[in-house]
Amino acid sequence: MNTKILTTKNEDIKIAAEIIKAGGLVAFPTETVYGLGANALDADAVKKVYAAKGRPSDNPMIVHIARASDIDKLTPNVNKMIVALIDNFWPGPLTLVLKKRDEVPTETTGGSDTVAVRMPDDTVALALIAQSGCPVAAPSANLSGKPSSTKPEHVIDDLSGKIDAIISGEDCRIGIESTVLDVTSEVPMILRPGLVTAAEIEAVIGIKPSLDPSLLRKETQADDATEFKPKSPGMKYKHYAPKAQMTVIEGRRNRVINEIERVKKLNESMGKSVGIILFEEKAFREAAHDFFAKLRELDEQEVDLILAGALSDTDGVGFAVMNRMLKSAGYNIVKV
Ligand code: TXA
Ligand code: MG
Domains belonging to the chain, first-starting first, are: 4-224 (3.90.870.10), 245-335 (3.40.50.11030)
Cα of 64 vs centre of ligand 1, distance in Å, is 10
What pLDDT does 234 receive? 60
| DSSP 8-state assignment for residue 140 | B
Inter-CA distances, 118 with 19, 46, 172, 179, 256, Å? 21, 17, 16, 10, 38
**pLDDT digit string (tens) for 64-84?**
999 999 999 999 989 999 999
pLDDT value, residue 222: 45
Ligand 2 centroid – CA 272 distance (Å): 30
| pLDDT recorded at residue 221 | 46
Answer whether 97 contacts ligand 1 (Cβ < 6 A): yes
Mutation test of ligand 1: which of 95, 101, 196, 324 has the most ligand atoms closer than 8 Å to its C-beta? 95
- The CB of 159 under 6 Å from ligand 1? The reply is no
What pLDDT shows up at residue 237? 55
How many angstroms is it from 92 CA to the middle of ligand 1? 14
| CA 232–ligand 2 middle distance (angstroms) | 12
pTM of the model: 0.95
Best residue among 31, 124, 172, 232 to mutate for probing ligand 1's pocket (most ligand atoms within 8 Å of CB) is 232
**Distance from the first to the final alpha carbon of the chain:** 50
User: For ligand 1, is residue 309 a contact (CB within 6 Å)?
Assistant: no
Q: Which residue has its alpha carbon closest to ligand 1 atom 30?
A: 232
Specify the pLDDT at position 229.
57
Mutate to test the pocket of ligand 1, among 140, 176, 327 (most ligand atoms within 8 A of CB): 140
The rounded Å distance from CA 113 to ligand 2 centre is 20
How does DSSP assign 85-113, residue by residue?
Answer: HHHHH-SSSEEEEEEPPTTS-TTTTTT-S
- DSSP reduced 3-state for 230: coil
Ligand 2 centroid to Cα of residue 185, in Å, is 24
- The stretches in the chain having pLDDT less than 70 are 217-238
DSSP 271: T
Residue 290: which of 308, 274, 273 has the closest Cα? 308
Nearest CA to ligand 1 atom 15: 139
**For residue 238, what is the DSSP state?**
-
